[in-house]
Amino acid sequence: MRRRDFLKWQLSGTLWLAAGAALPGVLEAASPHPDVAVATGGPGAAARTCVEMLGGMGRFVPRGARVVIKPNMSFASEASYGANTHPEVVAALARMCREAGAASVLVFDNPLAPAEQCLERSGIRAACKEFGDIVQAPAGDRFFQEADIPQAQQMKANAFLREALAADVLIAAPTAKSHGSTGVSLGLKGMMGLIRNRGVMHSRHDLDAAIVDLNTRLRAALTVVDGTYVLSTGGPFGPGKVLRENTVIASADPVAADAAAVESFEWYGRRFEARQVNHIRLAAERGLGRMDVANLDVRRVTL
């Protein structure tokens, strides 16, 4: 970290302390960790640095915890295509979870393309080989469980991956990409890979509201957005313009992580504010997290 960044961070922290005494978020703001960590560098190292800036994986993963990591591996393409999470980011997260003493670490997605090809060509299965057969894309009924979404406005229930419901810790590890329906597809949108009936979110409900509903049930304790290759246009599947950003963004706040990712990269050749993405705005409005990136403690490092 550069000195200037450190001073900025200190300054913003002091300001928060001074101004925030009456705000509900004060404890969060006063914590020694930034709200959002941004690291530029190789995917694996950047992911590790981000998590360490946030206090290390031990802050999120207690010893003996069962962890589910949700990357994007829904397409049979390599990371540089921009549609899937970089395998090194997923492997770094799995390794940190193991180091923190997780009892079990599983990596799940519910792919659109044939599952075998996705696990293979995304490179994620190979990258996680050392941890065992942890990368899975289960499809059978017995792996899913109907569950209610008590805080839903629209989608009151769905079939969830049993393991995702049973997990102690859920980590969202999306790639940063555009999306033809929802503007971007990041951590919040990515939770759709842990349920079976995605179709109803498109057909029966308002997609943006249903994404927020889903995130009231599946709450990521940590979101790590992989911006190594950003699919800036043509998402969620590509082909599209891929920006080589070499950036990883992480936060304990799923809305803040997505919001910071929206504002960190160019989409369709221009800059957007997080509020311009419907589902992120709705998520913030419904109290899932904060999207006012300018007011957040965002710490950046370059490796």
Partner 1 sequence: MAAQRPRRAVQIACLTLFVLLAWGGAEALTGGPGRDLFVRLDPAAALAVLLADRSLTARIAPGLALLASALVLGRAFCGWACPFGAMLDLSDGLFRKRRTTRTPPRGVKYGVLAAMLTAALAGVNLVFWAAPLPLAGRFWSLAAWPPAARLADAALALLGPMARRLDATGLAFAEVRVPDYDAVWFIVLFFALFLGLGLLSPRLWCRMLCPAGAALGLAGRAAPWRREVCAMCTGCGLCARLCPAGAIPAASPRATDHAECLKCLRCRDVCPERAVSFPLARGRPKAAPSLLRRALLLGIGAGAGAALLGHAGPALGRPHGVLRPPGALPEPDFLARCVRCGLCAAACPTNTLQPAWLAAGSLGLFSPVVTPSRGFCDPACHACAPACPTAAIRPLAGERTFAKIGTAEVVRKTCLAWEKRKKCLVCDEVCPYDAVNLKPEPGNPVAVPHVDEKRCAGCGFCEKHCPVQDKAIVVRPTDAVRLRAGSVREAAGARGLRLEFKSKKPGERPGPAYEDTPGAGGLPPGFSE
Residues interacting with partner 1, by CB under 8 A? 75-78, 80-82, 104, 106, 112-114, 117, 121, 123, 132-134, 136, 138-140, 142-143, 178-184, 199-200, 202-203, 207, 233-234, 236-242, 267-270, 272, 276-278
Nearer to partner 1, 34 or 82 (CB): 82
State the nearest-atom distance from the C-beta of 127 to partner 1, in Å.
Answer: 12
State the nearest-atom distance from the C-beta of 114 to partner 1, in Å.
Answer: 6
Contact 260, 299 (CB under 8 A): no
- The tokens for 94 are 């799995």
Nearer to partner 1, 41 or 87 (CB): 87
Q: Angle at Cα 275 formed by Cα 34 and Cα 25, nearest 5°?
A: 35
State the nearest-atom distance from the C-beta of 104 to partner 1, in Å.
Answer: 7
- The tokens for 184 are 């971007």
Nearer to partner 1, 46 or 262 (CB): 262
Nearer to partner 1, 24 or 199 (CB): 199
| Non-local CB neighbours of 6 within 8 Å, separated by 6+ positions | none
Residues 219 and 265: their CA atoms lie apart, in Å, by 25
State the nearest-atom distance from the C-beta of 262 to partner 1, in Å.
Answer: 9
Nearer to partner 1, 52 or 273 (CB): 273
State the nearest-atom distance from the C-beta of 81 to partner 1, in Å.
Answer: 5
Nearer to partner 1, 2 or 244 (CB): 244
- The tokens for 278 are 């419907």
Q: How far is CA 109 from the centre of its chain?
A: 13
* Phi, psi dihedral angles at 42 (to 5 degrees): -60, 150
Pairing of strands 144-148, 169-173: unpaired
State the nearest-atom distance from the C-beta of 212 to partner 1, in Å.
Answer: 15
Contact 83, 167 (CB under 8 A): no
CB atoms within 10 A of CB 231: 28
